[in-house]
Amino acid sequence: MKMINDRIRIIIVWILFIVVFIVAGVLLNSRLTNVLHSYIESQVCEQADRMASVVSEKLFRETDKLRYISRVIENHGGHVVDAVSADSIHRKMGVQTLAGSALSGEALDITVFQGIQDSFRGDSSISYVKNEGVLFTVPVYNKKNVRYVIYELFDDYAMKESLSLLSSDSRKVVVTTRGGDIIIPFSDVTKNEIAYFESRAYRDIFNELSSSMELNSSAAGFYSVNGARHIFFTADIPYTPFRLQGYMEPDIMSAGMLDASKLVIYAFAFLLVLYAVGSLYLIIATEKAEESDELRKAKQQAEEANRAKSDFLASMSHEIRTPINAVLGMDEMIIRESDNEHILEYASNINNAGKSLLNLVNDILDFSKIEAGKMEILKDEYKTSFMITDLVNMIAVRAHNKGLEFIVNAAPDLPSVLFGDEDRVKQCILNLLTNAVKYTDKGSVTFDLNFEKHSDKEIILDVSVKDTGIGIRPEDQIKLFSPFERVDLQRNRNIEGTGLGLSIVQNLLRIMDSKLELQSEYGKGSTFSFRLKQEVSDWKRMGDFAEAYKKSILTQNKYTELFRAPEAAILVVDDTEMNLTVFKGLLKKTRISIDTATSGNDALKMIRVRHYDMMFIDHRMPVMDGIDTLNAMNELEGNKSKGVPCVAFTANAGAGSREKYRSYGFDDYISKPVSPSELEEIILRYLPPEKIELIDPDEAMADDQQEEIRDEDQDFINAYQAAEGLSYNVAIASCGDVSVLKDSAITFYKTIDERAEEIRSFLENEDVTNYTIKVHALKSSARIIGAVDLSVKAEYLERCGNEGNLEEIKKRTDELLNDYTSLKSVLSFIYTEYLDTDEKDSDTAMQDLFREALRRETLMQFILDVREAADDFDFDRILDNIRLIKEYKLTDELKEELKRLNDAADRFDDVRVREILDRLEVIL
Amino acid sequence: MNKNKNLTLHLLFALTFILISLALYYTITTFGQGSGSGRIKIGFILDGDINDKGWNESNAEGIYGARENLGFDLFLCDNIGGSEDKLYKTVKEMAAKGCRAIILSSGNFEKMMEKYSGEFSDITFFCNSSATGELNFVNYSSRIYQARFLSGVIAGMMTESNRIGYIGAIPDAEGNRGINAFALGVQTVNADAKVQVIFTGSYSDKESENKAAERLINDYDCDIYTAHTNVNNTLETAARYNVHYIGCHRPTGSSMELASVDTDWDMIYTDLIREFIKGNIVNESTYWYGLEGDYVKLGFISYLVPERVKFRVDSEKRRIIRGMDVFSNMIKDNMGNTLCRSGENMPDSRLTYDMNWYVRGVKVIDENDQ
């Protein structure tokens, strides 16, 4: 034994040293290379900055020349302007006015040549225009204001002629924009080299360098392209939007310095070999001296004997299981088919005894598997909350039956998904818990689960099980872990078991690199604990395990109802029928019995008649708001639903809403419009668990798929999408599915007249409070059916109401009610039988007129603006206006006219423009 | 006994091994690394509270955004008010901490700092709307006047009384530029409308502002008014008289607000400080950011503003971006003098230094004129 230990120790030390050597060598080499590289890079950056300043100076020399001309014009007046012209076909020069025409030379488009605009603001500027060249501009003042701008435009050839810097064989440079377009290819750069500068690989390198240019004026780095290694560099050209880019051979800068790192590699390699040879010799010598043949033989025999025993046990246990299963199976048949009370009692005793026997055999089987080395650890992802819930479910009943208190402290910060062998971990904890319950007669069993972060990917689970049982004497504690031993037999005669449990736990933990620890005081209780490393798949907090368990079941699939509660009853109180319809629709599949009330008073009557498991109450209601209703319920005599969970509906949820509603006495709140999953989640949280039947998600999905979209639904969707003023997407998002939307739209449609009348009468009575409540309700119900514009208007008036601004309300309410009632004709497609034909026709006609007016007003403005622009000969403004009006929905006739207008403006034909405008006015 | 001794020996060996390995690792990895964090330090000074829901808050949000984007060390100090002594002490402290640039975000700071500029000659001062020519001063601002022009278009088209109010703070270049741009916007669409201006003498004085608002509404028949102050202080007055309001900085959420003129300080400070760090900022120069690129904008337009007005605003915005800036072509002052002829454009230098006039249609109401 000692010999083996020694050998292992020597090998470990030997490997450690080699590892340290290798790591140190690699680190040293990369460090040295880095230091050399960054030194060379900084040198290159400095050089690039110098080159960039030279280019900057050369560029500004051109601006100085223009500024001189500008002085001459300012001093001598406009007549010198004609003298401004270029002497080469590769350069353009001119004098431009604000309106865009040119006094001399060619007129440049101000939207393309931004530099001209900069100079009209008083500065000289240098800019680059793609495909045109480099533009130099300088302002010409007339007293205090800028009158003209002188420009000079160099094409590529001219730039090359007047500004080239020399490249050499080992260094290539170009001037580019910040985006990387080449402006000045330096004089002796060849076509191939330009192609290289424009290649993908090269661009990638410069994009990378550019990212470090964010806060530096220059950058450089080593990169390999097509096997050749170069230093690439780039530098901002000061005070211009340009950049210098290029590359050079590394040898010029490094002068052989980079070879230094090779020296390090060689030296370390030699040292390593030397060390390996030396230590290997020593190990072999030690081994030889210590190992003896006899010992080895004896050990081998012992191992073989042990293995034979384990094999025998394993196969025996396996054989025993088959008949037990047969007995249990037959017994099950008896239980199912017999009515006789006595026989049932006997059979169930057989069942219990058989299960105990099966457990024993399973334990033995596990144990012998471990002994034979056949136990494998199978790792997979598992949910922490699921594991804890399973354990609690298995133990809670047993503990309860024995009258013990079972306490679970699971850290809510535990990662929600771990990676390991869930079954084995569970087996270990379950064994400890079962033992604890078994050996404890009164008091409690406590299950603690904590963790410690071990690395970025791993945690150490800290499991401990504490009981207030009989405890274990110190001298027994050693025996405890050996197989088949049971301690304190006198006291524990009546406790069944193989005595294998702890041994199995200990062995499983050993396989998983952990070990079981025990603290015990005889007569007072024991604590078993272990620490186990597990990988982490998802660091998200588990939270309260019971909640996390429910939640993860809910979120496994997207919207599919995951529970039914046909036994449960819920009361919903809201003054808006729309909200009640949606609420019922969303919960239809859960089969919950839902009662609704449209006012606090109705609700009070209803709770005297029936018990509800849960209530939802709207905060904002007329006469008696949600808080008043809740308070009245609490004081009500004969309330059958006293103390049941109450959730507030609110349209104005924000930070701190939960605390706010808790302080009012609600248990929670939910914000409108209600989302299906949120609603179910909150119901799952508060409904008594015994009334909830969870459904297998697959089954629920299958149910859903059976409901294909029917043809008439498709027609409905099409009609909805086509309807003016309704957004189908907004509507379906708040309603969840088509049938709910249909119900909601019908409710909305049916209540239009009544609600509009209410709003009108509250306004007439100047009752701002109730008026505000009504428009508030309209805001949310309009949103549910996707009438976004109406909802926005209602929201505006709600705001006015909150501010008490009666004047504004009086002014705007008619418009709101117009829009509101006009939705009747829009919605008529869903509910034609509610509308006789005459009414329908007049409504649609009005709707058309309304839209027409809106468009006419904008069009009039358009004509006005274009006429004004034509008077100023500002044709660019005319074109802008045409572009803007084209964003509206237009008739074909109008489109045709606009096209003609566009052509006329393009030709600067102001007479024709006016003609077309006159015609447009007539059309209107 | 022997066993214990053995264990100590092992532990000692393992400890030495680990220590030497760590020392080796540390020496190799830290060799040749330059010292110092190298992050640039920037100072930022505000006259009001960073939570004022107005000028100071939007500026502070801007500089925090820039810090997020660029990663510099920020020293921020607010609530300086009008105290020159406090400002000087703050600047001195920031200089001692090694700030290479200090941003004076309030227009009145640069005058207070002028005489100390020599003392801090190695620090670049960024002055919002500066008008001094000190060597180490840089003038930065937003072309918020462009947004004011657009809001003037809205006011001009929506007024019924043809009287529009303007609560100004101080009649300096920055303040007058805003008034003139607004009035030019009004006049472009409504030559009959007049802009009535009352100056309160301070960028934040809730009482005077509300008094001014009431006078504009009651004594001068204004049915729309705007303000150029740090905080939108008069919303309640506007609501009480049911008069529409054009706000500045962030949208206020009031039903009375027709539109708000807003600056994206986050983008401006990021651009400015990035160029400063790279060494591209030239002292004594002007860095103004405008409608183009959305540095300034109408941050909010109420649904009360009719379609045709929005249409006109869009069209005017395009015109400005196209090069016809607010202060161009024929501009006359309210005494009839011509300031700019057709085809001319006022350079930024004139907008900075030469703004002691008001355009046609502006009437400044005297304090004592009841």
- For chain A, give every domain's residue range: 2-152, 161-253, 310-371, 380-548, 556-707, 716-835, 851-923
Q: Quick one: which of B145, B108, B110, B144 has its CA closest to B127?
A: B110
CB B134 within 8 A of CB B166: no
Q: Domain A716-835: give its CATH code.
A: 1.20.120
In a domain, B118, yes or no: yes
Architecture label for domain A380-548: 2-Layer Sandwich (3.30)
Q: For residue B212, give Cα distances in angstroms to A805, B34, B162, B233, B362.
A: 21, 60, 18, 11, 16
What residue type is B165 in one-letter code? Answer: G
Same-domain pairing of B206 and B174: yes
Kindly state the tokens that stand for A895.
């489109």
CB A444 within 8 A of CB A404: yes
What tens digit of pLDDT does each residue of A159-200 get? 777 766 655 666 788 888 887 778 776 666 677 777 777 788
- pLDDT at position A2: 57
Considering the entire predicted model, what is its pTM? Answer: 0.56
CA A42, A46, A48, A49 dihedral sign is: positive
Distance CA B331, CA B67 (A): 41
Q: Which of B40, B153, B244, B315 to mutate to test the interface with A (most CBs of A within 10 A)?
A: B315
CB A530 within 8 A of CB A427: no
Contacts of B340 in chain A (CB under 8 A): 145
ω into residue A673 within 30 of 0, thus cis?
yes
Helix axes B307-321, B144-158, angle to 10 degrees: 150
Q: Which of B322, B348, B351, B357 to mutate to test the interface with A (most CBs of A within 10 A)?
A: B322
What residue type is B39 in one-letter code? Answer: R
Same-domain pairing of B67 and B179: no
Q: Which residue has the tokens 């088209």?
A: B157
Whether chain B has a CB inside 8 Å of the CB on A98: the answer is: yes
CA atoms within 13 A on the CB side of B249: 20
Phi, psi dihedral angles at B343 (to 5 degrees):
90, 0
Kindly state the tokens that stand for A657.
């809403």
Q: For residue B43, give Cα distances in angstroms to B92, B109, B230.
A: 11, 14, 21
Residue B274 to residue A116, Cβ atoms within 8 A: no
Distance CA A879, CA A904 (A): 10
Q: Which residue has the tokens 């919950």?
A: A592
- pLDDT at position B62: 93
Q: In chain B, which residue's Cα lies nearest the Cα of A147?
A: B344
Helix (H) or strand (E) holding A407: strand A405-410
Helix, coil or strand: residue B103: strand
Same-domain pairing of B186 and B229: yes
- pLDDT at position A840: 40
Contacts of B40 in chain A (CB under 8 A): 215
Same-domain pairing of B162 and B218: yes
Residue A27 to residue B29, Cβ atoms within 8 A: yes
First to last CA, chain B: 105
CA atoms within 13 A on the CB side of A447: 26
Topology match between the domains A380-548 and A556-707:
no
Q: Which residue has the tokens 């009557």?
A: A605
In a domain, B346, yes or no: yes
Helix axes A806-826, A768-784, angle to 10 degrees: 30
Q: For residue A391, give Cα distances in angstroms to A361, A387, A394, A427, A463.
A: 21, 6, 5, 9, 13
pLDDT in tens, chain B (370 residues): 456 667 787 788 888 888 888 888 887 777 666 544 568 899 999 988 888 888 999 999 999 999 988 888 999 999 988 788 899 999 999 999 889 999 999 878 888 888 887 888 889 999 987 666 677 888 898 999 999 999 999 999 999 999 999 999 989 888 999 999 999 999 999 999 999 999 998 888 899 999 999 999 999 999 999 999 989 999 889 989 989 999 988 888 888 899 999 999 999 999 999 888 887 787 777 889 999 889 999 988 888 888 889 899 999 998 898 888 999 988 999 898 999 988 889 998 888 888 899 999 999 997 655 4
Distance CA B340, CA A669 (A): 63
In a domain, B10, yes or no: no
Whether chain B has a CB inside 8 Å of the CB on A652: the answer is: no
Q: In chain B, which residue's Cα lies nearest the Cα of A13?
A: B14
The gap from C-alpha A745 to its chain's centroid, in whole angstroms, comes to 33
Beta-bridge mates of residue A917: none
Residues 824-883 of A with CB under 8 A from B: 854, 857-858, 860-862, 865, 874, 876-877, 880-881
Neighbours of A703 (CB within 10 A): 13
Q: Is the ipTM of this complex over 0.85?
A: no
Same-domain pairing of B95 and B197: no
Q: In chain B, which residue's Cα lies nearest the Cα of A796?
A: B255
What residue type is A406 in one-letter code? Answer: F
- pLDDT at position A557: 38
Contacts of A214 in chain B (CB under 8 A): 70, 274
How many residues are listed for chain A in this entry? Answer: 924
Question: Can you list the alpha helix ranges (DSSP code H) found in chain B?
Answer: 2-30, 55-70, 84-96, 109-113, 144-158, 173-189, 206-218, 235-241, 265-277, 307-321, 348-353
Distance CA A419, CA A421 (A): 7
Residue B28 to residue A31, Cβ atoms within 8 A: yes
Same-domain pairing of B202 and B325: yes
Which residues of chain A register pLDDT less than 50?
554-560, 704-708, 832-854
Q: In chain A, which residue's Cα lies nearest the Cα of B348?
A: A121
Task: Return the CATH number at B347.
Answer: 3.40.50.2300
Distance CA A164, CA A185 (A): 8
Same-domain pairing of B122 and B168: no
Same-domain pairing of B338 and B281: no
What tens digit of pLDDT does each residue of A72-102 get? 888 877 666 666 676 677 888 888 888 878 8
User: For the domain with range A556-707, which CATH number is right: 3.40.50.2300, 3.30.70.141, 3.30.450.40, 3.40.50.300?
Assistant: 3.40.50.2300
First to last CA, chain A: 107
Residues 780-819 of A with CB under 8 A from B: 792-793, 796, 799-800, 803, 805, 807-808
CB A34 within 8 A of CB A256: no
Residue B346 to residue A854, Cβ atoms within 8 A: no
Is domain A2-152 annotated with CATH 3.30.450?
A: yes
Whether chain B has a CB inside 8 Å of the CB on A50: the answer is: no
Question: Can you list the alpha helix ranges (DSSP code H) found in A827-889?
Answer: 837-871, 875-885
Same-domain pairing of B60 and B206: no
Question: Can you list the alpha helix ranges (DSSP code H) found in A89-171?
Answer: 114-120, 156-163
In a domain, B34, yes or no: no
How many residues are listed for chain B in this entry? Answer: 370
Q: What angle do CA A474, A480, A482 make, to 5 degrees?
A: 135
Beta-bridge mates of residue A102: A96
Of B242, B278, B303, the CB nearest to A792: B303
Same-domain pairing of B352 and B284: no
Enclosing domain of residue B279? 41-142+266-289
Whether chain B has a CB inside 8 Å of the CB on A144: the answer is: yes
Helix, coil or strand: residue A671: strand
Of A121, A865, A880, the CB nearest to B347: A121
Domain stop point among B274, B289, B304: B289
Number of domains making up chain B: 2
CB A595 within 8 A of CB A570: yes
Distance CA A660, CA A670 (A): 12
Same-domain pairing of B199 and B324: yes
Q: Which of A119, A145, A244 to mutate to test the interface with B (most CBs of B within 10 A)?
A: A145
Phi, psi dihedral angles at A60 (to 5 degrees):
-70, -20
Kindly state the tokens that stand for B87.
């400002």
Question: To the nearest whole angstrom, how far is the Cα of B81 from the nearest Cα of chain A?
Answer: 32
Question: To the nearest whole angstrom, how far is the Cα of A599 from the nearest Cα of chain B?
Answer: 30
Residue A24 to residue B345, Cβ atoms within 8 A: no
In a domain, B9, yes or no: no
Same-domain pairing of B188 and B122: no
CB A588 within 8 A of CB A704: no
Q: Which residue has the tokens 């819930």?
A: A389
Kindly state the tokens that stand for B303.
């649904």
Residue B308 to residue A24, Cβ atoms within 8 A: no
Question: To the nearest whole angstrom, how far is the Cα of A644 from the nearest Cα of chain B?
Answer: 39
Question: To the nearest whole angstrom, how far is the Cα of A480 from the nearest Cα of chain B?
Answer: 26
Architecture label for domain A161-253: 2-Layer Sandwich (3.30)
Whether chain B has a CB inside 8 Å of the CB on A214: the answer is: yes
Whether chain B has a CB inside 8 Å of the CB on A212: the answer is: no
CB A452 within 8 A of CB A463: no
Q: Which residue has the tokens 């120069």?
A: B285
Kindly state the tokens that stand for A81.
């302007």
